[in-house]
Structure 1
């Protein structure tokens, strides 16, 4: 078993070495998974690991689903393990020991690739091929983040998108009648808000990745959703004008005072609090922000907050229906599972329109399904998110999942240096291009 560069990047050198020892002799041809149906026993204990917290709506919804699944599958017991904040570490350790559960929650893109390379997950294509009704209940373009060498290795459980949230009252008080639709509108709004003493945009500047989301959205609006994939495949250089221009635009926002004073020290809690308490007019963040808005101490906030897609850029190739994010969390089946067929039945039900609709309305989490629900039972802004996701024509997975971990760290460091004024946009992409050639 060869430990690849991508595996070392995710797992680290020490764990990667242990993985080589643990999986020696587990060549793809020797796998018990094979990627087809006919996967073992129909009775026994099915193990399922997922992150998160069992306390709350997510836990109660899952408990009800497990009870229903067991009732419909006599002789099957589902053992659910909530791994919490240590989920990544526990899955990585299980990968080393060769002791993954039957069903495991994970993420797409570069996070999933090492599990595929290690032959730890079973391809699901033949299962999916026999589940037409299930697949028709998913949004378009759902499988890209879980497809490797033409095979699909996971079924999606959730989705998220990055938006420009805004406080209607604060914009109106500053004389801004419409939320920004273009980058020029956004820059003008920033200057107008600053002139009135209002913080234009709240952002977590401490952790790097939220600022990266601003840069990557600008790049996508400049070059289209295919830009990053062309760069990764070598069809376009990392020094492409669309990338360099995104850095210039980010600097324009910073120089205009887009973010709060001292923003580089703000974490998510601070950024959240600033927007939720009406101290910032806008917030560029993920769709999980909805839960913060709904649960805010100010119960009138939900009536003040709305969102628009990230603005378009002049002359850009991007469209408003191309979103940063998309299907992300997913469930896969271990190649060592002795209950693969049952595992697929569990996953198929868990990711069905029926179950996803319960998760969506119960937690206000976006799901990559064509859900059916009573729209009057949830905030209107959530319905708008659902509609936007269903109409999306393209997705860019978050770069911290699209890029290999070490590559993402390098890019984030360069983006931070740009934000701090230490390098120019051209220098940033020149340095990243040189790094990616190594």
Structure 2
């Protein structure tokens, strides 16, 4: 088994530690992408994106050469890029200069996108897509996620969409007579038998931390309901409340029983993925972005041997097993000033909504756009695509609504939680302290 080098665990990163938060943005002399002033009738369909996004442009260019040829001739697609780190500042600057392009990517902070929507800069896609007759081309689960992230409104488009759950080794399950678990108790029983059989029950990266905190939030959503972390963000609950600490304790107990293996603290993302795809681990909690690895040459157990199931229900819990943790990856939005259903921008929006899901799927991407053309996919990819198309609601993830300091502390201390070097009470307190400090 390939693992990252062993290292000594770090001391707990406490909420009182001095950390660099998000700095104030100084919008002086910014340049690079989207520099032209917006007008009510732009001559080109400019898309300003973050340079790290390499997936959206190929799909749009394919559409411009095929399904959206007419729209592209009337208003040519032009793509410009700037680094993700500069995107929030550039968008803010362009907004103040009335220079936002017709379409642009979301910045790194959802709160900034929500502010743009509140101030009238963004298109209301519920209204616009309904007027164009293509509102049904967007998966409701993706819309639910966008609304949770961006202030309750459908103002961004899901050019990516990932759902999360537990991938499992189908052959291992069959050989041991295990049924897909639907309850937490069933999952624990399988984990215990997997360990006894010499397997790592759950591959997970303690080095990254977030694969472990995803389990904490999963337990919270199943026990307390979909609004469990929104209540924390709104100040109506605290992570130090007993019912929240109970979730951290449940995941700490998995570590105490050895269900993450001996090397969880030193495993990075790639090593944990490798542990699952080489058959050393029975399960891994991950998002649908893992499909690239599952369908790749490095998967030694074979794509046909990978299954997927939802985070199980907890007896007596308020949450629904049908609520997927999800994210929209690299969303983008439209400038309200340049948009009209009767101009070229509106034509582009209709064409994108109608065709993006199909073209993206041909290129191996799963998005929040409905794909209604038959595409031959590996079985596990089809399973995920089917789940996305039928999902109606979503939840976020542990750090989604946290400030930068709390997110850093959460990920850093996660390995200490599951190795017993930090108690559930202290783990939750460290994160809550950072939230309280703002």
The TM-score normalised by the length of structure 2 is 0.80
* RMSD, aligned CA: 3.3
Structure 2 spans left out of the alignment, 5+ residues: 1-18, 31-36
- The residue number in structure 2 matching 1:5 is none
Post-superposition CA distance 1:85-110 (Å, at most 9, x none): xx421413524653765422226xx8
- In structure 2, relative to structure 1, the CA distance for the partners of 1:345 and 1:406 (3 Å cut) is farther
1:370 aligns with 2:370: yes
Mapped to 1, the partners of 2:185 and 2:252 lie a distance apart of 14
- Equivalenced residue count is 403
Alpha-carbon offset, residue 410 of structure 1: 3.0
1:236 aligns with 2:237: yes
- The residue number in structure 1 matching 2:168 is 166
* 3-state SS in 2 of match to 1:163: strand
- In structure 2, relative to structure 1, the CA distance for the partners of 1:372 and 1:426 (3 Å cut) is same
2:59 to 47, 61, 86: 61
- In structure 2, relative to structure 1, the CA distance for the partners of 1:423 and 1:344 (3 Å cut) is farther
* 3-state SS in 2 of match to 1:155: coil
Q: Is the 8 A contact 1:222 1:313 kept in 2?
A: yes
Please say which of residues 206-215 and 116-125 is displaced more in the overlay. 116-125
Post-superposition CA distance 1:30-50 (Å, at most 9, x none): xx99xxxxx612424624325
- The residue number in structure 2 matching 1:136 is 136
The TM-score normalised by the length of structure 1 is 0.80
Alpha-carbon offset, residue 372 of structure 1: 0.6
Mapped to 1, the partners of 2:432 and 2:92 lie a distance apart of 33
Structure 1 spans left out of the alignment, 5+ residues: 1-8, 24-31, 34-38
- In structure 2, relative to structure 1, the CA distance for the partners of 1:64 and 1:185 (3 Å cut) is same
- The residue number in structure 2 matching 1:79 is 78
Q: Is the 8 A contact 2:50 2:87 kept in 1?
A: no
Q: Which has the higher helix share?
A: 1
- The residue number in structure 2 matching 1:432 is 431
- In structure 2, relative to structure 1, the CA distance for the partners of 1:124 and 1:95 (3 Å cut) is closer
* 3-state SS in 1 of match to 2:106: strand
Alpha-carbon offset, residue 188 of structure 1: 2.0
- In structure 2, relative to structure 1, the CA distance for the partners of 1:177 and 1:268 (3 Å cut) is same
Please say which of residues 156-165 and 420-429 is displaced more in the overlay. 420-429
Equivalent residues in 2 for 1:383-398, closer than 5 Å: 383-398=382-397
Alpha-carbon offset, residue 270 of structure 1: 0.9
- In structure 2, relative to structure 1, the CA distance for the partners of 1:437 and 1:90 (3 Å cut) is closer
Q: Is the 8 A contact 1:190 1:256 kept in 2?
A: no
Post-superposition CA distance 1:117-151 (Å, at most 9, x none): 36898221276265352212222254444445564
Q: Is the 8 A contact 1:145 1:328 kept in 2?
A: no
Q: Is the 8 A contact 1:161 1:286 kept in 2?
A: yes
Q: Is the 8 A contact 1:361 1:378 kept in 2?
A: no
Equivalent residues in 2 for 1:83-94, closer than 5 Å: 87-94=83-90
